[in-house]
Structure 1
């Protein structure tokens, strides 16, 4: 049954990412133009992340911060939407989560899934080999654009407690859970929950 669910998950990922890229193509083009016109630097923010089984891949997002942001101000941490490293266009993109749309390319390529644990950077908060045996269970599935932790605790708890939710997702995974998480995510995007806490790291810095 789990193999069937994983097969259906990949089918949904392929269909979802393909349809999403087609439907949102005018929005993607408009955002790209606005980023290019409003600030110096590349349109996309690319960063190495840990994926399934600890393999690294390059995540793609729209750039929402000034170039070299991680070496300025608060470094790896983004404490509020008033961080002066965030561009004017970036504030809108982050508030609406539109900066995440390019990850549909990662999903299409099979590096990510629509639903799964969020992929951390290779060196923060831990290197792959530093995760405990229990924590490494979160890497048994592809990372996702959204996930159980994002629709339940999001940034309200420390990273280690979010991992518990990630492992819970891996253990309870089925295609209906994915569908439920996708619908909850859409609802939360429109409710515009805050994405900032004191310990938020460079995952949202771009």
Structure 2
């Protein structure tokens, strides 16, 4: 292999030198519901990693210090966002549709609003919205997929209860109790769990006319 010729090829490869300016930032992080607070936490060396809040799940239900235990986790710590106020009517969302909309879609609206304000594009400032695009990095599996998918397991629950000798009436009551603990399917569920709808919902609400799309960025989804 001729390394010199390889270097020469790299030198001749055209490079896109179009400048990019970051003019506004919106963000939410553990113990920081905006960019200023996040930067303050960095300067003050705040450790935002905490134990699992009771509002998320009960750690004792899933925790096992043995990493090889099936269907368990061996950590009780993580980075968790604090609760934020969200008025669905401000974003054209009916209150009864909220439970069928993934959190990423709601947080996306809030952070884009932060970024626009940070850039000086407030409601009273006009700009060419047809030139504004929304491109997001989002992981493929959204939060809402799990509870909605879990409801589809009821035929297996029914079989298991029957095999265990549980009477039909009691089995039906048990199945209902389990299914009622999950978010129900409704007409908003399908768009509510799709990753690409996060960008689409932002474009629709803010009336942006450019490209809107998502890229599955896995662990880089926050970017």
TM-score tier, shorter chain, comes to under 0.3
Decide which structure has greater strand share.
1
TM-score between the two structures when normalised by the length of structure 2:
0.23
- Which has the larger Rg? 2
Decide which structure has greater helix share.
1
TM-score between the two structures when normalised by the length of structure 1:
0.24
